[in-house]
A and B are shown apart, each in its own frame.
Chain A
Amino acid sequence: MNIQKIRNDFPILKRKINGKLLAYLDNAATSQKPKQVIDMLSHYYSKHNANVHRGIHTLSVEATEELELARKKVADFVGVSDPSEIVFVRNATEAINLVAYAWGRLNIEKGDEIVLTVAEHHSNFVVWQQLAMENGAVLKIVPIDENGEVDQEAFKEALTKKTKLVTFCHVSNVLGTINPVEKLVSIVKGQWSNVIILIDGAQAVPHVPVDIPRIGCDFYVFTGHKMLGPTGIGVLWGKREILEEMPPFLFGGEMISKVRLDNSTWNELPWKFEAGTPNIAGAIGLGAAVDYLSKIGMENVRAHEIELTEYAISRLSGIQDIRILGQKDSKKRGGVISFNVGNIHAHDVASILDSEGIAIRSGHHCAQPLMEFLGISSAARASSYVYNNFEEIDRLVEGVMKVKKTFKINSKHEIHV
């Protein structure tokens, strides 16, 4: 895999930040976009733009075809044979909310239990917390072990005959842990085949080969902007029979079959869940992103991630006073590396790295329950993608050395609290 050739596809990587070449290591927040995706958006708006569905004129037919072709590409990318199970939404957050509103509010009642892990992103935590508060359901939070992996004993114990929904992330956005999703699904379904399982794949689909049907879950969500696609386009996958039974989430145009004065009937899947004019360009852009990733090959994307992560962890752990969170074995984790340097606050680490042109994230990473569980208030997070190279990891390491130097962390000072 020729990383330099890939880098040349990403115009933003030529940018200078504070006089230094950008080293973009905030990919867990959002990825950069290759010119193939950027050009596709421009091509769509220049050549095919029209509203989709039911249009008779040529442009409308073209736009509809392009949108549905994108759906087919996305379905293929995650091993789904029936594109009508792919619902386009705004992002992973909206996909989870859609399930909570359309499925959760009908199926989760007082006393029912929702099982999730302490490592969930707020979008897969607050949604269920609020539903539980509203319906009087019980939220059961499964802890993780020292490697950041779901505690399987606790997971088994949390399951009871009252469990209605089990949800967990495929890859953690803080610890990078790759959860053994097939194993977790079989633990649930082996004993309680009626329990519905939702997997948050926001950090997985961009980085590892994902074959959704093989996992055996009922819902799987992901988000386009973290996988080279545009913002504002995400995906909900659901098993056809479950999606068919679910009522619509939003009402309006596109999602109806027939509207009478006193009642309406709903369109077929997936359009039943796509009320209003969809993000046509976004979906087409996501289709281009998926093409780009497929051309490289997700196996290669993952292999590069393992190499970079291994290098980064070995170099970073050589620095005194650095604490890396989670799993050390790069084969068992994604390219997300969260760390703290001495007592220095993550924001200060990020500010100093920014002065060197290095973009990382700092804070609680929308996972406050996890931060509380780990007993920290914040962490710095460097996360790589297919265009990152070893040189950028070297710069990250040098940047961290500069942080230590600025804060005189070697001088054995006792620092307050």
Chain B
Amino acid sequence: MDIYREEILEHWQNPQNYGVISHADLVVNQINPLCGDEVTFYFKISRVSHPRGVKAHPGGVPAKGKSAMIRDVSFTGSGCAISTASASILSEEIRGKSVESVGKLTGQDVLSLIGGPVAPARLKCAFLALEAIRKLKVEN
């Protein structure tokens, strides 16, 4: 099984950004219908007025009219190696990115990030984190 490479197993044993952000701005959650496994993502969102002027919002609801950015992200949940590694890798990928660009992530992007291919039966595991992240919606 090619998918069980060193890198994937490393993420499984030491997932990055694992844990709860206690004052998260947004929390999204997704269940894998295949097994009932669950992943929860926590986000801190900032508003930036212009691309380079990244300025953390002092808390509360970010001001309107500015683009939302993922300032911090973490996840919890117990899953298989594929879903855990994919959540870990995705969390690294999306930190510091705009919510808008994260919304455009595709399944193919996830497969290239985790270095697929993944057997068809396991795609749901690989995409669990992506499905959760796709629920991320920031009002404008």
Contacts and interface: CB of A to CB of B under 8 A. Distances in A.
Contacts of A377: 35-37, 78
Where chain A touches its partner, the secondary structure class is mixed
Contacts of A164: none
Where chain B touches its partner, the secondary structure class is loop
A417 B13 CA distance: 9
B57 interface: no
B122 interface: yes
A351 B122 contact: yes
A351 B80 CA distance: 11
Output the residue of A362, A377, A415 with the most chain B CB within 10 A: A377
Interface residues of A, number: 23
A71 to B, nearest CB: 37
Given A347-B34, A347-B35, A348-B81, A416 B18 contact: yes
A415 B13 contact: yes
Contacts of B12: 415
Given A348-B80, A416-B18, A417-B78, A363 B13 contact: no
Contact of B36 (A364, A407, A408, A413): A364
Contacts of B34: 347, 363
A362 B35 CA distance: 8
A406 B36 CA distance: 24
B14 A416 contact: yes
Contacts of A344: 81
Contact of B82 (A347, A363, A406, A417): A347
Contacts of A348: 4, 80-82
Contacts of A378: 35-37
A352 interface: yes
A403 to B, nearest CB: 9
Contacts of A368: 36
B125 interface: yes
A353 to B, nearest CB: 10
A23 to B, nearest CB: 17
Given A345-B81, A348-B80, A348-B81, A407 B4 contact: yes
A345 B80 contact: yes
Interface in A363-397: 363-364, 368, 371, 377-378
Contact of A364 (B13, B18, B35, B79): B35
Output the residue of B3, B81, B119 with the most chain A CB within 10 A: B81
A32 to B, nearest CB: 19
Interface in B28-58: 34-37
Output the residue of B3, B18, B80 with the most chain A CB within 10 A: B80
Contact of A347 (B9, B13, B15, B125): B125
Interface string B1-20: 10110000100111100100
Interface string B105-140: 000000000000001011001000000000000000
A352 B1 contact: yes
B66 to A, nearest CB: 36
Interface in A336-362: 344-348, 351-352, 354-355, 362
A407 B35 contact: no
Given A352-B1, A416-B14, A408 B119 contact: no
B54 to A, nearest CB: 31
Contacts of A413: 13
Closest 5 CB pairs of A and B: A345-B80, A363-B35, A347-B80, A355-B1, A348-B81
Given A347-B34, A347-B35, A347-B122, 19 more contacts: A345-B78, A345-B79, A345-B80, A345-B81, A348-B4, A348-B81, A352-B1, A352-B4, A354-B119, A364-B35, A371-B36, A377-B37, A377-B78, A378-B37, A406-B4, A413-B13, A415-B12, A416-B15, A417-B78
14 contacts: A344-B81, A345-B80, A347-B34, A347-B82, A348-B81, A351-B122, A352-B1, A352-B4, A363-B35, A364-B35, A377-B37, A406-B9, A407-B4, A413-B13
Interface of B: 1, 3-4, 9, 12-15, 18, 34-37, 78-82, 119, 121-122, 125
